[in-house]
């Protein structure tokens, strides 16, 4: 019985740490979305871009969004509207891209 209690305690502690980390990342992603100027083209809510050809980012798969940002920054993706993004991506490092992508996926 004691082993089950210890396992339950450890499992619960891990869940709490995970939840706190996820919430901190989401807050960081939301703040980065603002400070790195993403909102100026994609909308404050990430659902109402300033031009219909710009993508709505809210609810996007985190890995997909992160990979798109990485590819635009590195120049691997250089089609469509990626030229407009190239300059902005110089303002964002890999960790920040991940935080923004993770946050967008929660919307």
What DSSP string runs through 40-82? Answer: HHH-TTSS--SSTTSPP-TT--HHHHHHHHHHHHHTS--STTH
Q: What is the mean pLDDT of residues 7-11?
A: 45
Q: Give mean pLDDT, residues 41-61.
A: 96
Which position has the higher pLDDT, 11 or 74? 74
Comparison of pLDDT for 58 and 17, the residue scoring more: 58
Per the structure, the complete domain to which residue 18 belongs is given by 2-105
**CATH number of the domain within which 23 lies:** 1.10.760.10
User: Quick one: pLDDT at residue 18?
Assistant: 42
* Total domain count, the chain: 1
Q: What is the mean pLDDT of residues 75-101?
A: 91
Top-confidence residue, 81 or 40 = 40
């Amino acid at each position: 019985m004691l082993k089950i209690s210890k396992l339950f305690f450890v499992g619960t502690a891990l869940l709490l740490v995970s939840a706190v980390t996820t919430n901190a990342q989401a807050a960081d992603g939301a703040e980065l979305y603002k400070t790195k100027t993403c909102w100026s083209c994609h909308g404050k809510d990430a659902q109402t871009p300033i031009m219909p050809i710009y993508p709505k980012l809210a609810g996007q798969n985190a890995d997909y969004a992160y990979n798109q940002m990485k590819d635009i920054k590195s120049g691997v993706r250089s089609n469509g509207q990626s030229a407009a993004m190239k300059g902005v991506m110089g303002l964002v490092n890999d960790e920040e891209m991940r935080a923004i992508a993770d946050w967008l996926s929660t919307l």
